[in-house]
A and B are shown apart, each in its own frame.
Chain A
Amino acid sequence: MRYALHAEWTKLRTLPGLGWLPLLAIALTVGLSVVASAAVSCRTGCDQDLTQVSLTGVDLGQAVLAALAVVVISGEYGTGMVRTTLAAVPRRPVVFAAKGVILAGVVIPVGVVAVLCSVLVARTTLPGAGVVLSEGSTVRAIAGSVLYLALVALLSYGIATVVRDSATAIGIVVFLLYLFPILAQVVSSPDWQRHLRQIGPMNAGLAIQATKHLDRLPIGPWAGLGVLTAWAAGALLAGVLLLQFRDA
C-alpha cells in the first residue's frame, strides 16, 4: 500500500497541466465568495446567514475540484497508463484506495485554503459583526465545507472510475450536482421542493454551511453531509467493483 501511495503521489505530482486546477478552484471559490459577500446589504436588519454567504464560492469551486478528481483516474484510461499501473500493482482495490487517499490528501488542503481565504476575505466586506469565527456553528460550517469538497471529489472519482472517460464523467458529475437545486427551484409543490433538497448531493451536503434558522432547513447539517457521504460511498463502491471485475 505504501508503494502504491507513493506511486500515485508521483503520478499526480508530475502530471503536467494539472497544477492549475487547484489554483483555479481556490481562485473561483474565493472570488465568488467575495462577490456574494460584497452584495449583502443590511438595510432591513441582517437576518441573512452571513457565514453561509461568505462560503458561496464553494458552489463554484467544487466543479473544478470534481474535474481534478475525474482526471486522476480517467486520464490514465485516456493514455492507456492504467494498464501499466495495474501491471505494477495487480491488486486493483489497493490501486483504487491509494488513488482515493492521494486525491483526498490533495483536495483537503486545497479546500482548507479556499474556504479559509473565502471567510477571511469576505469578513472585510461583510457588514456588522460579519462572521464570528469562535462560534461553534461557524467552525462547523468551515470544517464541513472542507469535508464537503472532499466528498464531492470522492463522488466524482467514483463516477469517473465507472465511466472511464474524462469528458463524460465531468458532464455526469456536474449534472448530478446541479440538477437538484435547479429542479427544486422550478417545481411548485413545497413537498417536492423539500424532498429534492433532501436527496440532492449538493443541496443536502451544503446544509452543513448553515448557521442560522436550522429549524427551517429541509435537512439538518450533519444529516445532509451524511446524504452526500452516501452518494460518494455508492459511487466509490460501484467504481471499485467495476475496476475489479472489468478489463482495463
Chain B
Amino acid sequence: MTSYTPTVTPGRDGFPALIRAEWTKFRTVRGWLIALAVAALIVVLVGLVSAAGSHRSCVGPHGRACPASVPGPTGPGGEPVSDSFYFAHQNLVGDGSVTVRVASLAVVKPDSPQPGDDTTHIEPWAKAGLIIKQNTRQGSAYAAIMLTGSHGVRMQYDFTHDRAGSSTARWLRLVRSGDTLTGYESADGTQWTKVGSTHLNGLPKSVPAGMFVTSPQHETVSQSVGSFSTSGFGTTAAASFDNVSRTGSWGQPGWHGSAVGDGPEMIQGPDGHGLTQSGGTFTMAGSGDIAPATGGDNTVEGALTGTFAGLIVLIVLGSMFVSTEYRRGLIRTTLAASPHRGRVLAAKALVLGGVTFVVGLVGSALAFLIVNKIRRSNGVPVQQVATGTEVRVVVGTAVVLALSAVFALAAGAVFRRGAGAVVTAIVLLVLPYILAIASLLPVGPAQWLLRITPAAGFAIQQSLQQYAQVSAWYAPPNGYFPLPPWGGLVVLAAWTAVALGLAVVLIRRRDA
C-alpha cells in the first residue's frame, strides 16, 4: 500500500500571487483592454473637438484677417497680469522716498454711458497712490502703496502680493533703500505706520517713481440654465494728490505724465484725463488695473475637457471588474483560491488603480500636449502657467481617473451588479461635475456639490488662481473650484477609501 504524496508544490497565496492573478484576469479580457484604449482616446478626441471649435475666426475691416493674437503682459513670476494705469513719474536715482496726501479718489463719468452701467460708484478696487517700478513696460516688477475705492490702504507688489493697511489713512509714503521698498501710511502726515516692505531683486539704480491712478473693469455676470455670459465696461477713476514731497536725488525737474498699458479710457483729453497741476495739487485720471489677470477663458486645462468622458468609460470598466465575477460565478473560484477576501479586493484595487493611472496619464498627457498645441496654432491665446502647475494638472487628472475607477470597483463589490454600481458612481462622480461646469446649476448649489461629492477631485485640474485683491466671477463654469486643488483630491480619495472599506466589510460578511 503506497500513500499518495503530491508532486506539485502548493501554490503560494501571498499578496504578490494575488496581484498576479488579478492582473491575469484583467489583461485576458479583450473588451477591457479595448475599453482602456477607448478611455485614453476619448480624452484626446473630446479635446480635439473642443480645439476645432475654438479658433479665432474674425475678419477685420476690408476682409483682412485679424492680427495674430498677442498674449497679454506677464508679471515677474511669469503669470498673466493686467498692468494699465496713469503714471506721473520722475526717475529716482539711488535711495530716496516720495510722500503724498491723496486728496480725493472718485469715479469719472464716461462721456457716453451704456444703459445699465453703474456710473455713480467708485470701483472697490480702484487704486490711487505711489509706485516704484523697474521700468515703464507692462509687467515689470513694482512696489506700490495705495488708497483703494473701498478696501482702505494697501501695499501691493509684483502683482500677486497684497497687504492691507488701515482704512482711514490718506497720507502715503514709499521709501527705496537699496533693493528694499517700504510703504508707510499716516492719517495726519506726522504719525507714520509701516504697512509692508519687499525686496525687488535686480532693480536698476534709476527707476521711475511717482503717483498713479487706475480703475478696473466693472464686470457683471448673467447666468441662465445651461449658459452664462459676462459683460463688463471699463471704468475711470480720477485722483488728486497734494502735499507732494521727495527725498533723494531725482532725475528731471518736473513730473512727467504718461499712460502705462492701454486701459480703455486712457485718453488724454480736456476733461481732466491726463495730468494737470494747479498750485501743489496734481490731478489725473486712469483706467485699467495693476493686478494678476483672472478669467476662465482659454485655460490650459481646457484641453482636458474629455476627462469626464474617459471617466465614464473607466467607471464602467471598474464596476465590471467585480460585477462580472458575480455574474459568471467566478467570484466563488476566486474566493476559494484565496479565502482572505479583503486581500482579494485590495489586489483588485491595486491592479485596477495602477492600470488606470498609467492609461489615464498617457491620455491626459497626450490630450494636454496635442490639444494645446492645436489651440495655439489656431490663434487661441492659451494662458501660460508654470511648468509645475502643468505637471500637477496632467498627473492629477490621471490620479482622479485612477481613484474614480477604484471607487467604481468598490461600488461594484457593494452592489454586485454592474448597473447599480455604474449609476451610483456616475451620479456621485460625473453628474455633479457636469451640472456645475456646464452652468446647469446656480453657483451656490454648484459649489456645494463640488465640495462634498467625490467630484471635488476635479479641482486638481484648476490652473487659475483666485486673488482676494481682484473682483472676478470665481465660479465653477468659469474654471474656479470651491476647494483648493489638493483639498479636492483629498475629498475624492476619502470617498474612495470609505467605499473600499464598505466593500471589504460587505464581501467578508455576505455569501458570495
A interface, CB within 8 angstroms of B:
17, 28, 32, 35-36, 39-40, 47-49, 52-53, 56, 59-60, 63-64, 67, 70-71, 74-75, 78, 165-168, 170-171, 174-175, 178-179, 181-189, 191-193, 196-197, 203, 206, 209
Contacts and interface: CB of A to CB of B under 8 A. Distances in A.
A189 B423 contact: no
19 contacts: A17-B417, A28-B427, A36-B225, A39-B443, A59-B435, A64-B427, A67-B422, A167-B320, A170-B422, A171-B313, A174-B430, A178-B308, A182-B308, A183-B50, A186-B302, A186-B305, A188-B54, A188-B297, A193-B53
Mostly, the B contact residues are helix
B497 interface: no
A112 B376 CA distance: 48
Contacts of A74: 419
A129 B157 CA distance: 50
Contacts, number: 137
B434 interface: yes
B418 A166 contact: yes
B54 A171 contact: no
B430 A36 contact: no
Contacts of B445: 32, 35-36, 39
B24 to A, nearest CB: 22
B222 interface: yes
A178 B55 contact: no
B439 interface: yes
A196 B52 CA distance: 12
A178 B430 contact: yes
A49 B57 contact: no
Contacts of A32: 435, 441, 445
Contact of A181 (B226, B380, B443): B226
Given A181-B434, A182-B434, A49 B316 contact: no
B296 to A, nearest CB: 10
Contacts of B440: 56, 59, 181
Interface in B440-484: 440-445, 477
Given A181-B440, A188-B297, A171 B422 contact: yes
B53 A187 contact: yes
B164 interface: no
A47 B380 CA distance: 33
8 smallest beta-carbon distances between A and B, as pairs: A187-B53, A192-B53, A167-B418, A39-B442, A166-B419, A171-B316, A181-B438, A188-B54
A192 B53 CA distance: 6
B230 to A, nearest CB: 13
- The listed residue with most B CB atoms (<10 A of its CB), out of A40, A64, A188, is A188
Interface in B41-68: 46, 49-50, 52-55, 57
- The listed residue with most A CB atoms (<10 A of its CB), out of B222, B225, B302, is B225
Contacts of B323: 167
